[in-house]
Chain A
C-alpha cells in the first residue's frame, strides 16, 4: 500500500490541494458576504417585523420603540408555545396601548399555524395575522391576510364580544365564516385567537409590566382556569373534537 501511495503521491497531494483551495475560496466567499450583509439583513428583518406589527397596531396609536419594548413570554399552553416568545408592547406617552404576541394553533389541517395576535389594553383585538402555515393552497390559506380579508374579521372582537358560545365558525354555531371546502383551518385559528385572548386577560398587568419580568409565570399558580385549558389545548386532536367538547360544557 505504501508503495501505491508513493507512486500516486503527487497526484493525491495536488488533488487534495486543489479541492482545499476551492473549499477555502467558497467558504471565504460565503463568509465575506455574510459579514458584509449581516447588518443590512438584520435591519431589513427588523423593518419587516415593524411593518408587520404596524399592520396590527397602527403606528399612529403609539409612540414608543415597539421593537425594543418587549417582554419574554414563557412557554404557555394557552398560546400553544413550547419556546420562549416575545411580546411587543405599544405605549403612548408611557400609557399601555396594546400588546402583540405570538400564538400557535396546533390543529390546522396540515400542522401548526403560527399567528401574531395584537390585543388593545382594554381587551379588544387590534388585529391577527398568520405568520406561518402549511394549509392547502386555495382553500385553507385564505387565513393569510395576503390571500383574503377573513383574518380582519377578528378586529375589535373581545372575550365577551361575541359571547363565548359564539367564538366558533358558523358551521359550529358561531359567528366566524368558514371557507368553502375548508372548515378545519378557520376553526383552528378561531380557537387559537380565543385562547390568546384568555391568556391576555389573565396576564394583562404582567404583560405590560415595565420591569421586564417574564410574563406567563403566573399561570403556574392560577390552576383553576389554566389547568382545565391546558388539558384541552394540549390535546391536539383534530379541531372538531376539541371544539365539540367545549360546546358540551
Chain B
C-alpha cells in the first residue's frame, strides 16, 4: 500500500482530499473565486502538508498514543506560523499573494488527517511524498473549481495572474467576451458548493464507468475461457 505509485494514485484520485475525503472545505469554498486564488491556496497547502508530514514522520519514535493529537496540533501550528513569518520576511512579494491563505491552512483538517492517518505510520520519504501528492490533488481541484467559477462568473481565466507570475501574468489573462455581464451566483459561496458538487459527481461517474467497463472485460474473459 505504501509504494510510490499507490501513494500518487491515492493523492491525486482515489483518496483525493477535496473530492473523496471532503476535507479542508472551508478554505476551499472560500477562496476558489478565480484560478489564481485557487492555485495560491493549493501551493501553500501543499508546502504545509509536505513539511508537517515529514515532521510527524520524524518524531514517530517518541510519539505516545494518548497525546499524539495535541502533538500534531502543536507541530502543525508551529510550522504554519513559522512559514508565514519566514515568507513575510524573505519572500515578501509572494507573501502578499499567498499571505492571506496561510492562516486559512490552519483550518484545513486534511493536514492533521494526513498526519494521523499516514505520516504517523510511515517513513520520512513516503510521508513527504504523500504530503506532496495529497497537496497536488487538492491544488488540482482548487484550480479546476476556480476555473469553473471564474469562467462562469466573470467570463475570464487567469485574471490577476500578474500577482503571482509578475508582469508576464498580464498576458496570461484570457477574456472570452469583453461585455460578459457576469454571473454572480458562481462568484458567491453557493457557486462554490454547486461547483464542488458537480466535480464530485463527475468523479463518481468516471469511477462507475471504469468499474462497469472492468466487469464487462472480466465477464468476456470468463466467457472466452469457459
Residues in chain A within 8 A of chain B (CB atoms):
14-15, 18-19, 22-23, 25-27, 29-30, 33-34, 36-37, 40-41, 44, 47-48, 136-139, 146, 180-181
B82 at the binding interface (Cβ < 8 Å): yes
Q: Is the beta-carbon distance between A22 and B71 smaller than 8 angstroms?
A: yes
Which B residues are in CB contact (< 8 Å) with A33?
A: 81-82, 85-86
Q: Which of B60-68, B103-111, B116-124, B199-207 contacts A (4 or more CB under 8 A)?
A: B60-68
Total A-B residue contacts, Cβ distance less than 8 Å = 71
| Contact A15:B67 (CB < 8 A) given known A22-B74, A41-B89 | yes
A157 to B85, CA, bound (A): 40
Q: Is the beta-carbon distance between A44 and B81 smaller than 8 angstroms?
A: no
Closest to B83 in A: A33
| Contact A48:B184 (CB < 8 A) given known A19-B67, A19-B71 | no
Q: Is the beta-carbon distance between B77 and A26 smaller than 8 angstroms?
A: yes
Which A residues are in CB contact (< 8 Å) with B81?
A: 30, 33
A173 to B71, CA, bound (A): 62
Q: Is the beta-carbon distance between B74 and A138 smaller than 8 angstroms?
A: no
Using an 8 Å CB-CB cutoff, how does the interface string of B145-179 with A read, 1 for contact, 0 for none?
A: 00000000110000010010000000000000000
Partner among A15, A30, A40, A146 whose Cβ is within 8 Å of the Cβ of B64: A15
Shortest CB distance B196–A (Å): 17
Q: Is the beta-carbon distance between A34 and B85 smaller than 8 angstroms?
A: yes
Q: Is the beta-carbon distance between B89 and A138 smaller than 8 angstroms?
A: no
Which A residues are in CB contact (< 8 Å) with B82?
A: 29-30, 33
**Count of chain B residues near A, Cβ 8 A:** 30
A41 to B64, CA, bound (A): 37
| Contact A26:B88 (CB < 8 A) given known A15-B64, A48-B96, A138-B154 | no
Q: Is the beta-carbon distance between B33 and A137 smaller than 8 angstroms?
A: yes
User: What are 14 contact pairs spanning A and B, CB under 8 A?
Assistant: A14-B64, A19-B71, A22-B74, A29-B82, A30-B78, A37-B89, A41-B88, A44-B92, A48-B96, A136-B187, A138-B153, A138-B184, A139-B182, A180-B182
Q: A30-B81, A30-B85 are in contact. List 12 more A-B contacts (CB 8 A).
A: A19-B71, A22-B59, A23-B74, A26-B75, A37-B86, A37-B89, A41-B85, A44-B92, A48-B96, A137-B188, A138-B184, A181-B182
| Contact A19:B70 (CB < 8 A) given known A48-B96, A137-B187 | yes
Q: Is the beta-carbon distance between A181 and B184 smaller than 8 angstroms?
A: yes
Which B residues are in CB contact (< 8 Å) with A34?
A: 85
Which A residues are in CB contact (< 8 Å) with B67?
A: 15, 18-19
Closest to B159 in A: A147
Q: Which positions 12-41 of chain B face chain A at CB distance < 8 Å?
A: 33
Q: Is the beta-carbon distance between B160 and A146 smaller than 8 angstroms?
A: yes
Closest to B153 in A: A138
Q: Is the beta-carbon distance between B86 and A15 smaller than 8 angstroms?
A: no
Partner among A15, A47, A139 whose Cβ is within 8 Å of the Cβ of B66: A15
Q: Indicate the member of A25, A48, A138 with the most B CB atoms within 10 Å.
A: A138
A222 to B131, CA, bound (A): 64
Which A residues are in CB contact (< 8 Å) with B33?
A: 137-138
Q: Is the beta-carbon distance between B78 and A18 smaller than 8 angstroms?
A: no
Shortest CB distance B163–A (Å): 8
Shortest CB distance A5–B (Å): 16
Which A residues are in CB contact (< 8 Å) with B70?
A: 19
Q: Is the beta-carbon distance between B92 and A48 smaller than 8 angstroms?
A: yes
Closest 10 CB pairs of A and B: A37-B89, A40-B89, A26-B78, A44-B92, A138-B187, A26-B74, A33-B82, A37-B85, A33-B85, A41-B88
